[in-house]
Amino acid sequence: MTEVIGGDRADARRNRAKMLSAAGDAFAEQGLDVPLVEIARRAGLGAGTVYRHFPTKQALLEAVFTQHLDELIASGERRAAQSAATEAFFGFLLDVVEKSKRREHLCDVVAADASWPRPMLTASVLRFRQVLTALLHAAQRAGSVRADIGPDDVVALTVGCVSMLASRRDRAAGHRLVQLTLDSLRPSAVVTEGQYFRDSPDIRRDTVTFCAECKAPLMVRPTGRPVRYCGAACRQRARRRRLAS
């Protein structure tokens, strides 16, 4: 952790806050390559002052990231305390995605852990994982999230969602996509057999059947007469073919 400078002096603390805020904005708007002097300028401070607080640009970046995580942690704890498990979990994920939207660059950092192993040891990172894990497990106990999902899956999913938001210009459409993606976590979601990927053999397959006409997956219906087609259209089409032959 960065040694906090002048922890006892009000102005120093205010300066630190200004820097973090300015850095957050700057990274969001101009990417991680934004010059440090630009951050200092936004904060209304000198470059030297920034260095007094953060010995390295890297350190500043980590601090911004940590602050971001802390906000998410607070959000997660609030939701855990106030909502039922399912709402808490999904609400938290939406929070994470939404709040990270303007900070995709931070996600780059998370994604590229090879180049940045240290922050993974940070207290905030650990606490974030704890909160996430607790919410996840609660939701799983409540039956609203598939049992075969782990915290890492959730993190990866949210990272992906942030990317989606970033690449989908239409705001509303982006949100719908995120919704769609997060709902993949629900138990009803069907996982197509994973034969496409060349080298991932051991993916457990749910018991899926497919439309006899269009090969679309059919919902599981343990009882009753099994469906053969995904809908009226396919049934009709199959019929036509049968008659033709």
Residues in touch with DNA (CB under 7 A) = 5-6, 9-12, 15, 33-37, 44-49, 51-53, 55-58
Nearer to DNA, 10 or 243 (CB): 10
Nearer to DNA, 26 or 139 (CB): 26
Long-range contacts of the stretch 136-139 (C-beta < 8 A, 24+): 136/89, 138/80, 138/85, 138/88, 138/89, 139/85, 139/86, 139/88, 139/89, 139/90
- Would you give the binding string for its own copies spanning residues 115-154, x where CB under 8 A is met? ---------------------------xxx-----x-xx-
Q: Which does 57 bind (CB under 5 to 8 A by kind): DNA, its own copies, none?
A: DNA
Residue 202 burial by Cβ neighbours in a 10 Å radius (0-12, 13-18, 19+): exposed
3-state helix, strand, coil split of the chain in percent (to 5) is 65, 0, 30
Nearer to DNA, 11 or 199 (CB): 11
Q: Which does 238 bind (CB under 5 to 8 A by kind): its own copies, DNA, none?
A: none
For the bound state, the minimum distance from the C-beta of residue 66 to its own copies, rounded and expressed in Å, comes to 18
For the bound state, the minimum distance from the C-beta of residue 35 to DNA, rounded and expressed in Å, comes to 4
Applying CB under 8 A, does 111 fall inside the site for its own copies? Answer: yes
Query: Could you tell me how many residues of this chain bind its own copies (CB under 8 A)?
Result: 89
DSSP, residue by residue, 21-84? HHHHHHHHHH-TT--HHHHHHHHTS-HHHHHHH-SSHHHHHHHHHHHHHHHHHHHHHHHHHHS-
Among 56, 220, 226, 240, binds its own copies (CB under 8 A): 220
Q: Which does 132 bind (CB under 5 to 8 A by kind): DNA, its own copies, none?
A: none
Beta-bridge partner residues of 210: 217
User: H/E element holding 218?
Assistant: strand 217-218
For the bound state, the minimum distance from the C-beta of residue 88 to its own copies, rounded and expressed in Å, comes to 10
Nearer to DNA, 43 or 107 (CB): 43
Measured CA to CA, the distance from residue 77 to residue 213 in angstroms comes to 48
For the bound state, the minimum distance from the C-beta of residue 14 to its own copies, rounded and expressed in Å, comes to 21
Q: Which residues of 157-172 are buried (b: 16+ CB within 10 A; e: fewer)?
A: bbbebbebbeeeeeee
Q: Which does 188 bind (CB under 5 to 8 A by kind): DNA, its own copies, none?
A: its own copies
CA angle 26, 125, 100 (to 5 degrees): 40
For the bound state, the minimum distance from the C-beta of residue 56 to DNA, rounded and expressed in Å, comes to 4
Applying CB under 8 A, does 163 fall inside the site for its own copies? Answer: yes
